Structure 1
């Protein structure tokens, strides 16, 4: 619906030059030459220059000039300067409209190129997560608040390391390209540390050092790290990030919290203790949803936050990607459109007995 309204507005504006010229012609014939409607014919090419290309603007300018000549002859205005002044007005506005259309076309081409580069950068930064990792199935949803650039500061990654399946979901302070640069630092450090460090705490310490070294305390990143080992549940490290949602096999949802909360990455290295790891049972048939605050802080028209815990039943679809898409659509409906903040969701499904032989879902 949000896309249909701009298209309808664009279509209406594209017809505006013809409507304006028709109204001016009718008014001029009905009222007569004394009122001086004839110069308003130039509104046709003026409106055309707002939405059309330069060729269309020039064509409408030519039609406006013909209409101006016809009405001028009808009104007998070429016996004085008024008819020629109206023609000069049409020619001048048409020229300005053509120039504006050319400049707009160049800007649109540049914007399209920038958007294409941004999309490539985002794909390089946020690589597709593996559909399966050990006993887990994964699906991801990402929506940037900077819709025109399709790029933002939320981050996620799934790494199958020798030490277990390691996952990160984070949220960089700020938006746009500056936030993407920070996300690149965090993801690069995580991808390396996830393979090298035997413990999840060591991974977190590597991330903290990388963020502090690269950013110098200018930005911070909330993040949650998780480590899943078959039969051993899941271990979390929470750096000031929203609690994960654990959906049990019976459909109930829990939000595991650490015993003590820690500061985000970039703020906690100087003198304060880092987060303490905490263990949560994670059994076959259960689901784990990691997300950023763009999900839970999405508000409806009454200012009510999105009730994520009450929407756990939307994840019941056998296909992991379809289930997450259903949840995202519900989030968009709640907010009445795309979220005002970056919103990332990473769904992990612990496959039950016998599912390892089946095709990968999602």
Structure 2
């Protein structure tokens, strides 16, 4: 039979009461000469660290009452020791109340900022469509920012007049600054994907947009994919990890460009941009675009996540269940909290023509 262990928060909640109980027992056993009584102030001190001001005030009142009772029991009010102990408890309670109020305000401000940031992230990273013609899609995003679903990875799918166009990218840095850069990339991609006739022109458009916005040596690695026929996918890689293609027979391929180009934001330095390259993509195949937070996740032996060996997890009948199985496996592989954002976008070719209507996201 499994016995549930008390949670950390429950243990902390009982800490002030436990501290006052231990001090009271020690004072009764040791007698008034040892001077344990002022330590009753540990109760409101601990309460101010983990509770709100109301709980701190309640424990402070209990601590003061306990101090008075023990002082009378020890006969300390015949001198100054009883009054000194009461003043000590009252002083610590007052400071604890002030600390609890300030902490509550900071937590409220942090929650507000986090809510705004997550709302901005939801606007930026919209749900991908369930289907576009024969293509089924699913997406997974894990942020490295603790308790906040924001980060620097980005993804988007656009059904353009030139085919289905996809981008997955990784912004240098994390947090709100990375989200701002991701907004520039996604905004430019969503507009240019409908206008530019080929991936090279689309990539140049993104480069120009970023060069106007980015400062210093900031950059964005990204891979663009275009699927315009039922038998081929075309890629444009800006220093990003190679996509993974899982064939219908289970074989795995990581198609790489002939030469890697600089990330977006660095291409205006006089170097040649990336060249498109194509691979077969037929009914039954799957395409996984991902960021380096996936392949660079390490286990307790410092081994990287073996993405190719885990491709078998993508053979679940439902595309969303398949990607969720891969995400869970990645989470179990990594030790501790993620050190980098991890985004994955899975495209499954079900057969038929690529031309198709959007189906609204769930």
Normalised to the residue count of structure 1, the TM-score between the two structures is 0.94
**C-alpha spacing 1:280/1:51, structure 2 compared with 1 (3 Å):** same
In the alignment, which residue of structure 2 is the partner of 1:237? Answer: 236
5+ residue gaps, structure 1, are: none
In the alignment, which residue of structure 2 is the partner of 1:272? Answer: 271
Shift of 1:230: 3.0
Shift of 1:339: 1.7
Give the match's secondary structure for 2:305.
Answer: coil
In the alignment, which residue of structure 2 is the partner of 1:289? Answer: 288
- Name segments (4+ residues, structure 1) moved above 3 Å: 359-362
- Contact residue 319 and residue 361 of structure 1 kept, 8 A: no
In the alignment, which residue of structure 1 is the partner of 2:334? Answer: 335
In the alignment, which residue of structure 2 is the partner of 1:311? Answer: 310
Give the match's secondary structure for 2:138.
Answer: strand
**C-alpha spacing 1:216/1:73, structure 2 compared with 1 (3 Å):** closer
Work out whether 1:13 is the aligned partner of 2:32: no
Give the match's secondary structure for 1:117.
Answer: helix
**C-alpha spacing 1:129/1:100, structure 2 compared with 1 (3 Å):** same
Work out whether 1:50 is the aligned partner of 2:55: no
In the alignment, which residue of structure 2 is the partner of 1:88? Answer: 87
Shift of 1:218: 3.1
Shift of 1:353: 5.5
Work out whether 1:61 is the aligned partner of 2:53: no
Greater relative CO, 1 or 2 (CA 8 Å, sep 6+): 2
- Contact residue 260 and residue 274 of structure 2 kept, 8 A: yes
Give the match's secondary structure for 1:123.
Answer: helix
**C-alpha spacing 1:279/1:156, structure 2 compared with 1 (3 Å):** same
In the alignment, which residue of structure 2 is the partner of 1:23? Answer: 22
In the alignment, the residues of structure 2 paired with residue 51 and residue 117 of structure 1 have an alpha-carbon distance, to the nearest angstrom, of 25
Give the match's secondary structure for 2:309.
Answer: helix
In the alignment, the residues of structure 2 paired with residue 353 and residue 292 of structure 1 have an alpha-carbon distance, to the nearest angstrom, of 29
After superposition, the C-alpha distances for 1:26-48 in whole angstroms (9 at most, x for unaligned) are 11111110000000011111111
Shift of 1:326: 1.0
- Contact residue 321 and residue 361 of structure 1 kept, 8 A: no
- Contact residue 128 and residue 361 of structure 2 kept, 8 A: no
After superposition, the C-alpha distances for 1:261-281 in whole angstroms (9 at most, x for unaligned) are 111111122221111100100
Supply the RMSD in Å over aligned alpha carbons.
2.0
Give the match's secondary structure for 2:267.
Answer: coil
- Contact residue 39 and residue 87 of structure 1 kept, 8 A: yes
5+ residue gaps, structure 2, are: none
- Contact residue 217 and residue 267 of structure 1 kept, 8 A: no
Shift of 1:102: 1.1
In the alignment, which residue of structure 2 is the partner of 1:179? Answer: 178
Normalised to the residue count of structure 2, the TM-score between the two structures is 0.94
Work out whether 1:166 is the aligned partner of 2:165: yes
In the alignment, the residues of structure 1 paired with residue 329 and residue 134 of structure 2 have an alpha-carbon distance, to the nearest angstrom, of 28
Task: Count residues with an aligned counterpart.
Answer: 356
- Contact residue 134 and residue 165 of structure 1 kept, 8 A: no
In the alignment, which residue of structure 2 is the partner of 1:137? Answer: 136
- Contact residue 129 and residue 360 of structure 2 kept, 8 A: no
Shift of 1:361: 11
**C-alpha spacing 1:268/1:360, structure 2 compared with 1 (3 Å):** closer
In the alignment, which residue of structure 2 is the partner of 1:188? Answer: 187
In the alignment, which residue of structure 2 is the partner of 1:77? Answer: 76
- Contact residue 135 and residue 230 of structure 1 kept, 8 A: no
Give the match's secondary structure for 2:230.
Answer: coil
Shift of 1:149: 3.2
Shift of 1:257: 0.7
After superposition, the C-alpha distances for 1:177-209 in whole angstroms (9 at most, x for unaligned) are 111111111111111110001111110110111
Shift of 1:216: 4.3
After superposition, the C-alpha distances for 1:56-85 in whole angstroms (9 at most, x for unaligned) are 111111111111111101100000000000
